Amino acid sequence: MNQAWILLFLPLAVAAASLLLPRRTALVPWLATASAAATLVLSLHLVGSTGTASFDWASVGGLHLRVGILLDRLSTGMMVVVTGVGVLVHVFSLAYMRDDAAKARYFTCLQLFMFSMTGIVLASDFIMTFIFWELVGLSSYLLIGHWFEKTSAADAAKKAFLCNRVGDFGFLTGILLLWSITGTLAFSSMDVPTSVSASLVTASLLCIFCGAIGKSAQLPLHVWLPDAMEGPTPVSALIHAATMVAAGVYMLFRLQLSLGAEVFGGLAGDVIAWTGGLTALAAALMAVQQDDIKRVLAYSTLSQLGYMVMAVGLAAGEAGMFHLFTHAWFKALLFLGAGAVIHACHHEQDIWKLGGLMRRMPVTGATFLAGCAALIAVPFTSGFFSKELILDAARGHQPVLFWIAVAVAVLTPFYMTRLVIVAFFGGSRSDAASHAREVGPLMAVPLLVLAVPALIAGNRIAHGFAPAVPERAGEFHLNSLFWISVAALVAGSGAAILLYRGKSRDPLSIPLLRERFYIDRFYDRFIVRHLQDSAAAIVHFLDEWIINGLLVDGCSRAAASFGGLLRRMQSGHLQGHAFAFGLGVLLVIYFTVFF
Amino acid sequence: MLTLLILFPLFALVAILAGAPARPTAAAAASANLLLAVAAAVTWHHPAWEFSLQVLETPAIHLAFGFPDGMSVVMVLLTALVTLPAVLTGTAPAGRGSLWYGSTLLISAGAMGAFAATDLFFFYAFHELALIPTFIMIGLLGRGNRSEAAWKITIYLGLGSIVLLAGLVWLAMLAGTLDMTRMADAAGHIDAGSQTSIAALLILGFGTLVSLFPFHSWAAPAYASAPAPVAMLHAGVLKKFGLYGLLRVAMPMVPEGMQAWLTPLLVLLLGNILWCGWVTISHKRLDGMLGSSSVMHMGYLFLAIAVLAAHPANDLARPAAVLLMFAHGVSIALLFALADRIERTAGTLDLDDLGGLATPAPVLALLFGIGAMASIGLPGLANFAGEILVFLSAFRNFDPASGIGPLQITCILAIWGVVISAVYMLRALRRIFHGPTFGATARVADLTLAERIPALLLVAALLAVGLYPNLILNLLR
Amino acid sequence: MASLNDYLLVSGLLFAAGLAGVVIRRNIIVVFMCLELMLSAANLSLIAFSRFNTTGGLPDPDGQMLVFFVITVAAAEVAVGLAIIVSLYRARQTIHTDELTSLRG
């Protein structure tokens, strides 16, 4: 158990120490990387162990909020993913951020993130989940805004934080409702009593799901994730692909484990599954028309997260978690590959200005292809096994969702093949691309290491490390489902090869998809500018004029004008006063004598 | 012992008036007070902390101090904790040193006395004592539209105090004693009608002092005009007097009366959180925004009080409110201190004129960021623990079988305030610290070591309590 | 012999003349003199009351005593008042009451 506590607090200690260390030393990056490596060793050591431990964090009256650790297959498996990807991203960053002036801050924030993410994974208690949920939001904010001098990065960081906050509004409400329903905050002892109305349970689940919508960037709060690509690319790999954005799925599955899958049966499950399915489809469509290499990957992350959420909604959380496990490896690989490309091409991210990189960067190209194969579910890669399970779950429950998922399975190979053909094959279309050279060992080694789990994480040999393994995981049958997925794969990649081979401009132009269904623009124009800013201005105006102006100043003006009336009498004329005085005396005499 | 806490600032004040160097004397007194307050927090059960001296026989008024429960200890600790940074932050205009530091110390002494008094008369009188230098400082040494702001706060708080005085006098007459520790027993037999009227007066009086909606329009202009130490001490400490009074006087003595006003209170506190939250979003200057945000955050504290009014036996609301008062006091003091530093070096607090400040002043940005994050309730900083306990308290007595009541609906709407505060705080961070550096901000130097000390003190308190809230909660057990 | 009513009538006339002077005249010295006239009117009625309210054949001493008080106080008042007027004149170069309105609120 002590190892688990060290696992949790080591990154925090390192982050705190980094703040106190002198800035210009090169010590901080190496210290952070060493800490990440240590956490990976600890996580591997903890695989398979179970247990709980906690201490009182805040105790009031009869309520004890506890910070605790819950070790089980789910949390230890997830820790392997977090620390495994984490350490590779640290190593990759050593090279990627070598020339950055603020790399000490960067690595401090990475350690803060590792601490927060570990907290979410190990949390034994819903309040603790919420605490670390917010902290990953903070570290994500800080890392997206790493280059805060850039207007776009600063805006993206703010947007990410705010979208998450909107989700957290629901999340916190849901936690409070669930707390009053079950009477506990601890995952281990949650139980829905039969006396509680089903609608209240559904409401609380949907509120909690709002948190997952924010963190895992589902419709309609998905807008922050593509913008979050403004952060350094290793961060995108770790936080915005492999781990943090998957926290929503993890949390929902944790809830499914403690409440029982049957609670997700009714309306709540349907809403979750449909949100996931629609996000998967919409994001895949948007990815088709993106030109920025990182944005294509970001939309594909959205789409894959949609798959996972859909699986949880279909009460097949194991399949969702299994996909999370495989996805983490291959998506981290793809992002780091993109990072290598961006690094080699002097921060050129437009795929139409790349091209021909396969020859110049063979290691990056080959590993990118491996990751791509897993993402588009080439048979026997890791993504193939996990996606198959989700499709299977969808077919059993909701035929419409199944066909949506199949459509996504066609679109995914389409846009990924497009990306690979345009960026890695053909001729170089810019100076930056034609002078690209293979990256150094600090960046190449993480790519090569990641390529291994990207290919084999779905197979039996890796199941020991997986956070959840569904019944038929890693099995292979030549059934109708297999043929459907192969057909989808062939159709998608085939169409892309036909369409994009040898092209130097995008032959397709679909403004609706390029503009992301105009959702961002709608939010910016309507919700932020009108609903929020104009309304705030109106409320401020009312506050100024009605409360402050009319009521308060009205009172003061009434008092002032009454005083002004009285002031007239203070003319300062000696004789006027004397006259009034005499008149007063006369009146007094008159009234006393004659009445 | 406890009297020393009030006497240290007063002695220092006399010394300053007699010609002692103002800043070192004030800093010494504030440091001594901080040490004493920490000692008090550790050993407050000891009878050495009690003091009583009869000053008038009929009515029996005692100059009495003591710690009837942990709530006073926390508030005294908060006062001492904010006073030292308030003294150290900012510099007096040339030649006005004795007025500047003397007033700061007097406010601190008044707040300290109000929180430590166990006699209703001195409870009220010390608060009034602290208000006078507040008005003077805003009127004489403030900035911007200071005379109007000073008039507004004087009239508002004066009227609020009068209404409050009426309620307190009525209460004391019915209870037959001024000893606050014994009043609660004597007050048990007050009839429901009088309770309702007294509660109305107390809510109105204390509420005005805490800027309860719609009596809030003094706060933003006053804090925007106030010199930094006054803004820190008033928003951070003195304003909490109203909430402290509601918890200390109104709740135990007129519980039925408070219950009668539950629904209006719920509506008004939503006015604080949602209405004033929207107002805060549209503020164009940092100081006005911070002032308005402090009005908004009072809504959460009123939520805790509403929970207590609805369920007097609720075991979460009172500690939650005290913890949140402490946290808010520290965080808003930190923000006002740093905002003042920005204004002094950049010459403006207009969000349009600032930008990219994090590049020339990273430490300033870090510390301000911590304050801003505390203010929007980020876990790991003290405010979160307070807010989450307030929200939990609203659902503590909720029976899921009976459906959602008005208290729970209010709480859920109040949680939306968490989003609103994130909107304005992040926008301010974005506008002030991020983006390209230009114009007024390029010449801003980072905090010097001496300037970091007061801010670090407050940050340390936020972090310590945020990481382990039991530090404060154990005092309230 | 004149009756009490006659004395009071004269006293009333004197008082009215004094009050009229105070209200109407603008020269502050004249106002001051009219003020003295009003005091004299009061003195006259006090003496008259004393004379017509005998106790044991002697006039009531209280009234006469009060008159002496008024005379001494009036003397002091004249001293102070004239001094004020002199310094007022020095400060403002006028003793016209219309121009002395610094008490206006």
Give the pLDDT confidence score for residue A504 in this predicted structure.
78
A161-198 residue pLDDT tens? 999 999 999 999 999 999 988 888 888 888 888 778 88
Number of alpha helices (DSSP H) and beta strands (DSSP E) in chain C = 3, 0
Domains in chain C and their CATH numbers? Answer: 4-99 (1.10.287.3510)
CB B234 within 8 A of CB B207: no
**CA nearest neighbour of B388 among A168, A249, A138, A164:** A168
Ordered alpha helix ranges (H), B347-405: 362-375, 382-396
For chain B, give every domain's residue range.
261-477
CB B64 within 8 A of CB B122: yes
For chain C, say whether A582 makes contact (Cβ under 8 Å). Answer: yes
Give the pLDDT confidence score for residue C11 in this predicted structure.
94
How many Å lie between the alpha carbon of B122 and the closest alpha carbon of chain A? Answer: 30
Give the pLDDT confidence score for residue A24 in this predicted structure.
59
For residue C105, the chain A residues in CB contact (below 8 A) are: 566-567, 569-570, 572
For Cα atoms B30, B36, B37, give the angle at the middle one, nearest 5 degrees: 90
Give the pLDDT confidence score for residue A240 in this predicted structure.
87
For chain C, say whether A564 makes contact (Cβ under 8 Å). Answer: no
Q: For residue B188, which amino acid is it?
A: G
Low-confidence ranges of chain B (pLDDT < 70): 187, 439
Crossing angle (nearest 10°) for helices A2-20 and A103-122: 160
For residue A177, the chain B residues in CB contact (below 8 A) are: 395, 400
CB A281 within 8 A of CB A404: yes
Give the pLDDT confidence score for residue A103 in this predicted structure.
86
Interface pTM, i.e. ipTM? 0.92
Q: Touch between chain A and chain C (3+ CB pairs, < 8 Å)?
A: yes
Rounded CA separation B273/B377 (Å):
14
Give the pLDDT confidence score for residue A414 in this predicted structure.
92
For residue A582, the chain C residues in CB contact (below 8 A) are: 19, 22-23
The position carrying tokens 């703010």 is A158
Cis peptide before A193 (omega within 30 of 0): no
Rounded CA separation A67/B333 (Å):
29
How many Å lie between the alpha carbon of A536 and the closest alpha carbon of chain C? Answer: 43
Interface contact C101-A578, CB threshold 8 A:
no
How many A×B Cβ pairs under 8 Å?
143
Interface contact B281-A536, CB threshold 8 A:
yes
Residue C105's pLDDT band (cuts 50, 70, 90):
low
Give the pLDDT confidence score for residue A234 in this predicted structure.
92
Interface contact A161-B422, CB threshold 8 A:
yes
CB C42 within 8 A of CB C13: no
What residues are paired with B53 via a beta bridge?
B63
Contacts of A248 (CB under 8 A, 6+ apart): A211, A212, A213, A214, A215, A216, A218, A305, A309
Give the pLDDT confidence score for residue A25 in this predicted structure.
66
Interface partners of chain A (CB pairs < 8 Å, 3 or more) are B, C
For residue C101, the chain A residues in CB contact (below 8 A) are: 571-573
For chain C, say whether A45 makes contact (Cβ under 8 Å). Answer: no
A405-453 residue pLDDT tens? 999 999 999 999 999 988 888 787 888 778 888 888 888 999 999 999 8
How many Å lie between the alpha carbon of A570 and the closest alpha carbon of chain C? Answer: 5
Rounded CA separation A508/B475 (Å):
68
Give the pLDDT confidence score for residue B152 in this predicted structure.
87
Can you tell me whether residue B46 is helix, strand or coil? coil
Rounded CA separation B312/B327 (Å):
23
Rounded CA separation C36/C77 (Å):
10
The position carrying tokens 């803060």 is A112
For residue B476, the chain A residues in CB contact (below 8 A) are: 60
Give the pLDDT confidence score for residue A142 in this predicted structure.
93
How many Å lie between the alpha carbon of B97 and the closest alpha carbon of chain A? Answer: 34
Can you tell me whether residue A53 is helix, strand or coil? strand
Residue C103's pLDDT band (cuts 50, 70, 90):
low
Interface partners of chain B (CB pairs < 8 Å, 3 or more) are A
How many Å lie between the alpha carbon of B338 and the closest alpha carbon of chain A? Answer: 20
C71-87 residue pLDDT tens? 999 999 999 999 999 99
How many Å lie between the alpha carbon of C104 and the closest alpha carbon of chain A? Answer: 4
For residue A575, the chain C residues in CB contact (below 8 A) are: 22-26, 31, 97
Give the pLDDT confidence score for residue C10 in this predicted structure.
94
pLDDT along chain A (595 residues), means of 10: 88 89 76 92 89 88 88 90 93 89 89 93 91 93 91 91 92 92 86 82 91 90 89 90 89 89 84 92 90 91 92 88 92 92 87 83 90 90 88 86 91 91 83 82 90 85 79 77 89 88 79 79 78 79 76 76 78 78 89 86
Rounded CA separation B14/B387 (Å):
40
